[in-house]
Amino acid sequence: MSDDSSEDLLYLIGLRDEDSGGAEDAWSDFYNRHAGFLYTVLKNQYGEEFGEHTIEDMTAETMRRAHLHAATYSPERAQGSNPERRVRTWLFGIARNLLRDAYSKGAFQPVPMDPQEFWEAIAPGPDPLHFGSEVLALVRQEFEALPERDRDVLLLYAFYYPKRIQRGDMQQLAKRYSTDAQNMEKVKQRALRKLKARLLRGGIKPMLEGVR
Name the residue ranges covered by the structural domains of the chain. Answer: 1-120, 122-212
Q: What's the pLDDT at 11? A: 93
Burial class (CB in 10 A: 0-12, 13-18, 19+), 83: middle
Mention every residue, 6+ apart, whose C-beta is less than 8 A from residue 131. Answer: 123, 124, 125
Q: What's the pLDDT at 208? A: 54
Q: What's the pLDDT at 85? A: 83
Q: What's the pLDDT at 115? A: 28
Q: What's the pLDDT at 12? A: 94
Q: Note the Cα 65 to chain centre separation in Å.
A: 16
DSSP per-residue codes, 184-205:
HHHHHHHHHHHHHHHHHHTT--
Q: What's the pLDDT at 116? A: 31
Q: What's the pLDDT at 79? A: 66
Query: In the chain, which residues have pLDDT < 70?
Result: 1-2, 78-80, 103-136, 159-163, 206-212
Q: What's the pLDDT at 130? A: 40
Cα(30)–Cα(26) distance, integer angstroms: 6
Q: What's the pLDDT at 166? A: 72
Region 122-212: CATH code: 1.10.10
